[in-house]
Amino acid sequence: MAIITALPIVGDFKFCAMVYINFTNLDNETQQKLLSDSKEDVKRKFGNQLKRYAQENHINYDTLLEEEAMRNLYSYNFVFNI
């Protein structure tokens, strides 16, 4: 199970999130949930810009979104409960 707590930084447009993960449950379902949450985060923050970029450069939007969601996971702070 993954619980994401969003912590916006005042005065900056960066977005920080802390993700609490039960270390005994890093199965595929949990990983897909994290990726899905990251996709929604990216869509919310950069959806229109990504769509425009994909159209201008003839890139598949879904592929671009998936790649950006994976990169976005690196901006999260993970807290593991063991």
76-81 and 15-22: which strand pairing? parallel
The pTM of the whole model exceeds 0.75: no
Non-local (6+) Cβ contacts of 45 within 8 A are: 15
**Buried b / exposed e across 29-47, counting CB within 10 Å, b at 16+?**
eeeeebeebbbebbeeeee
Q: Which residues in the chain come in under a pLDDT of 50?
A: 1-13
Identify the pLDDT of residue 3. 46
Edge-to-edge strand list for the sheet holding 15-22:
2-8, 15-22, 76-81
Identify the pLDDT of residue 79. 67
